Amino acid sequence: MSITPTSSIPAAETAAIIVSLVLIVGKIIILFVVCRKRAEIGKTSDNTQDSRFLTLTMDKFLNDMEREKPIRFTSQQLRIATDNFTNLLGSGGFGAVYKGIFSNGTIVAVKVLYANSNKRIEEQFMAEVSTIGRLYHFNLVRLYGFCFERNLRALVYEYMKNGSLDKYLFRDHKTLGFENLHQIAVGTARGIAYLHEECQHRIIHYDIKPGNILLDGSFSPKVADFGLAKLCNRENTHITMTGGRGTPGYAAPELWMPFPITHKCDVFSFGMLLFEIIGRRRNLDISLPESQKWFPKWVWKKFESGEVGDLIIVCGIEEKDRKMAERMVKVALWCVQHRPQLRPSMSVVVKMLEGAVEIPTPINPFEYMISEIPCPALPPHASQTSSILDSDSSQMTTGSNLVHATPIMKKYEIEIA
C-alpha cells in the first residue's frame, strides 16, 4: 500500500490558484485591450470627421483669405497669362493695359507701369497697392495682385468686359440709355462714398473722370486707377500738397492753388463727370457755338433762367427721364461749387441721385469766374445750406499732417495724410 505525501496537496492547490489568477488577469488584459481599441477606433472616427469638417470649412476660409490679399506674381506668370503681352486693351501716360487669362480661366487686366523715372513708378505702384489692395467694394475695381521685378512692374486687376465709361459718352455709338447712365452715376457715387466715409482711413482718389470708371459685363461701374490716390487720417481733414494733381477739366480749383485740400476735391470731379453723363459729351467742345462750348456753365445758365426743359431736349433725354435728369443737374451744380465746404458729401450725393432727400436750389458755382476774388465769400444763406448738404465736419489744421498708418507703411514710407 502506497501513501500520498501530504505536501503534494497544497502544491496542487497552489498551482490551481496560480492558473486561475493567470486566466483572470489574462481576461482583464484582453478586456482592457478590446475596450481601448474600441475607444481608439471611436476617437479615430471622430478625428476623421473633424478633419473632414476642417478641410471643407477651414480650407475654403483660408483660400478665401488668400484671395483677399494681393498676390505677388512673377513676370513669367504674367507673360504666360497675357501671351507675352499681345492683347492691348489701352494705354496712357501711366503705361499700358493688356488682357490676360490664367490657367484656372480667370480673365484679368494687367497694367504695366512705366514713367520717366523709377521713383515715379514706385510712387504709383505703392499708391495703388496700399489703397485698392486693402479694399473690396462692389463699385471699386478689384486688385488681384502685382509684379515688381527689375524688368516688369505691373498691377493685375479684374477684367472689365465693357471697358471705360468714356467710350459710351463721347463716341458715336451711344448705346446706353439714360436710365443706365443714371445707375452708373449712382454706383460711381457709392464707390467714392465708400472711399471717403467707410474705410478705416479715408482715401482721396484725386482723378475721378470717365476714363477711370470701368464697366463690367452688366454695365455696373467700378472706380479704377488709384495711381494718384492718398490715404487720409480722418482727424486731419485738410492736407497740404505740393504740385497739382488730377486731370485738367476734372480737378478741383484748390488742387491748382495754394489752399489746403480735402476729400471734397473728389466731389468736384464727380460733378464734372456728372455733367458729361447728362450731356453725353465732353464738357469742353470748341466745335459748338460759343454759349455751348463749356457745358457746365451752359447748364447753369439754363437752370438759372428756368429753361432746364430745353436743355433736356437738346441732350436727347426722353420725357420719362426728365425728373431724373433734373435731379442730376442740381446735384452736378452743387458738386462743382467753388468753395469745398459748399459741396455735399458723397453719401449725400447718393441720396440726392436716388431721390431719397430734397435737393436745395443750387447757387451759382461759377461766380468766381467773373470775380477778382480767387475764393469768394460765402453767400448769406450758404453756410446753412452747406450744413444740410454735408454730413462731415471740417476742422482746419495747419502744417504737415502726414502720418504713417501701419509699421509696414512706415517701413516703406507709404504716407497717409
Cite the active site residues.
207
**Domain covering 166-411 assigned CATH 3.30.2020.30 in the classification:** no
Name the nearest CA neighbour of 71 among 36, 34, 99, 106. 106
Domain with CATH 3.30.200.20 in the chain: 71-158
Average pLDDT over residues 121-148: 87
The DSSP secondary-structure symbol of 363 reads: P
- Report the candidate in 280, 349, 337 with the shortest Cα–Cα distance to residue 312: 280
Instruction: Check residue 376 and give its pLDDT.
Output: 44
pLDDT of residue 353: 98
Number of helical H runs and strand E runs in the chain: 12, 10
Q: How confident is the model at residue 412 (pLDDT cuts 50, 70, 90)?
A: very low
The answer to whether the CB of 274 falls within 8 A of the CB of 309 is no
Separation of alpha carbons 73 and 135, rounded Å: 19
Cell of 126: 505703392
* Contact between residue 404 and residue 414 where contact means Cβ atoms under 8 Å apart: yes
Nine cell digits for residue 294: 463749356
Residue 300 burial (C-beta neighbours within 10 Å; 0-12, 13-18, 19+):
buried
- pLDDT at residue number 386: 59
pLDDT of residue 118: 72
Mean pLDDT of 26-43: 71
Report the pLDDT value the prediction gives residue 154, as an integer from 0 to 100: 94
pLDDT digits (tens, 9 = 90+) for 231-254: 665 555 555 554 556 789 999 998
Predicted pLDDT at 275: 98
What are the two backbone dihedrals, phi and then psi, of residue 116, each rounded to the nearest 5 degrees?
-70, -20
Overall average pLDDT of the 43-49 stretch? 54
Amino acid letter, 34: V
In this prediction, residue 304 carries a pLDDT of 96
- Residue 406 has a pLDDT of 47
Residue 211 has pLDDT above 80, yes or no: yes
Checking if the pLDDT of 77 tops 70, the result is yes
**pLDDT value at position 402?**
36
Q: What is the pLDDT of residues 174-196, one digit of tens each?
A: 689 999 999 999 999 999 999 99
- With contact defined as beta carbons under 8 Å apart, do 176 and 224 qualify? no
Count of beta carbons in the 10 Å neighbourhood of residue 56 = 10
| H or E element at residue 59 | helix 8-68
Largest CA distance in the chain: 153
187 neighbors 220 (Cβ within 8 angstroms):
yes
CB 273 within 8 A of CB 209: yes
What pLDDT is recorded for position 53? 56
Q: Which of 177-197 are b and which e, b meaning 16 or more Cβ less than 10 Å from the residue's Cβ?
A: ebeebbbbbbbbbbbbbbbbe
Residue bearing the bigger pLDDT, 21 or 416 = 21
Measured between its terminal Cα atoms, the distance across the chain in Å is: 121
Where, residue-wise, is CATH 1.10.510.10 in the chain? 166-411
Residue 70 CA: distances (Å) to CA of 122, 142, 216, 271, 314: 17, 9, 20, 32, 46
Which strand (E) or helix (H) includes residue 71? strand 71-72
Q: Rounded to 10 degrees, what is the CA torsion of 31, 35, 37, 43?
A: -170
Backbone angles phi, psi at 325, to 5 degrees: -65, -40
Q: What CA–CA distance (Å, rounded) separates 337 from 389? A: 12
Question: Is 111 assigned to a binding site?
Answer: yes
What is the band of 121 on the pLDDT scale with cuts at 50, 70, 90?
A: confident
Query: Cα 38 to chain center, whole Å?
Result: 55
Is 54 or 131 the better-scoring residue by pLDDT? 131
Residues 139 and 48: their CA atoms lie apart, in Å, by 42
d(CA 78, CA 152): 9
- At the top level of CATH, the class of 71-158 is alpha beta
- The three-class DSSP label of residue 294 is strand
Is 416's pLDDT higher than 60?
Answer: no
Q: Which pLDDT score, from 0 to 100, does residue 403 have?
A: 39
CB 325 within 8 A of CB 309: no
pLDDT, tens digit, for every residue of 330-374? Answer: 999 999 999 999 999 999 999 999 999 999 999 999 988 765 545
Give residue-wise pLDDT tens across range 254-313: 888 777 789 999 999 999 999 999 999 999 999 999 989 999 999 999 999 999 999 999
The cell for 130 is 496700399
Summarize pLDDT for 376-409 with one digit per residue, the tens. 445 555 555 555 566 654 433 333 333 344 444 4
Please work out, in degrees rounded to the nearest 5, the angle formed at the alpha carbon of residue 321 by the alpha carbons of 319 and 327: 120
Residue with the three cell numbers 431721390: 355
Q: Helix or strand or coil: residue 333? A: helix
Is 188:166 a contact under the CB 8 Å cutoff?
no
Determine the residue type at 285.
Answer: D
